[in-house]
Amino acid sequence: MANNTNYEYVNETSIEPEFICIVCSSPFIDPLRTPCHHSFCRRCITKWIFGGNSSCPICRKHIGSINSLAQATHSVKNFVEYLPVKCTLCETTNIRRRDFHEHIEKTCPKVHVSCSAADIKCPWKGTRDQLANHESKCTFEPLRSTLSELINENQQLKERINDQHDTIVQLMIQLSNYTNTSIECNNCRNCFYLEKDNRNTAGYYRAYANSQSTYENDGSLNLIVSVELCTCHCH
């Protein structure tokens, strides 16, 4: 049966039935044993029991709960771990199944990997056998210190923008409390109503951070807020 890993068994048809899970028709993965001494993949038997079955898929004896399952015997577990498999990505064959994960993580030439400069935004992706060639001409790695500085600054800038946004929202809440009105417009929620006073005519206003706002050398924000009449015609 198909599995979603990238290997297939060498001579799968010659594997003794005692090492094959009857539920998925493949050699056991992490096998567990029922009280009636039948073994199944952990995943298969767990799914079977959670699916509402309480009897053994082979002999129909009562299993009970998940708690009555035990580890399969060492000989069964070792046998399936040492089964030879073939990598379907690179066609390398006779890898022991238990070493397959390491094959994919460390050596398989056809696995898709990222550049070692992915952390500084090199977008390259390719197979491992193309990696050395890419890294020899990667344009990101030589700029590592500059790029990480830029990325860091960009991150700080984003945080400042968030701070600035919070400040404006706080300010508008204070203003709307001060004028004793709620923010009423559903289309432009940033608007608030101001009564007429000696500076303003009555109406809906919106606040925004003026582009003359500056950052001090210590990184603190010198926020200049402008308030202007809302011109959206929806009030």
Interface with Zn ion (CB under 5 A): 21, 23-24, 36, 38, 41, 44, 56, 58-59, 87, 89-90, 108, 115, 117, 122, 124, 138, 140, 185, 187-188, 191, 204, 230, 232, 234
- Site of tokens 């993949």: 41
SS3 113: strand
CB of 196 or CB of 219, closer to Zn ion? 196
Residues 6 or more apart whose CB falls under 8 angstroms from that of 190 comprise 172, 183, 206, 207, 208
Name the minimum Å distance from CB 165 to Zn ion. 18
**CA-to-CA distance for 223 and 206, rounded, in angstroms?**
16
In the chain, where does DSSP find H-type helix? 42-50, 74-81, 100-102, 128-137, 144-178
CB of 32 or CB of 56, closer to Zn ion? 56
CB of 124 or CB of 215, closer to Zn ion? 124
Name the minimum Å distance from CB 78 to Zn ion. 17
Residue 106 per-residue DSSP state: I
- Site of tokens 């004793």: 180
Name the minimum Å distance from CB 225 to Zn ion. 16
CB of 49 or CB of 230, closer to Zn ion? 230
Name the minimum Å distance from CB 219 to Zn ion. 32
CB of 221 or CB of 227, closer to Zn ion? 227
DSSP codes of every residue in 177-209: HHTT-----SS-TTEEEE---SS--SEEEEEEE
Name the minimum Å distance from CB 160 to Zn ion. 26
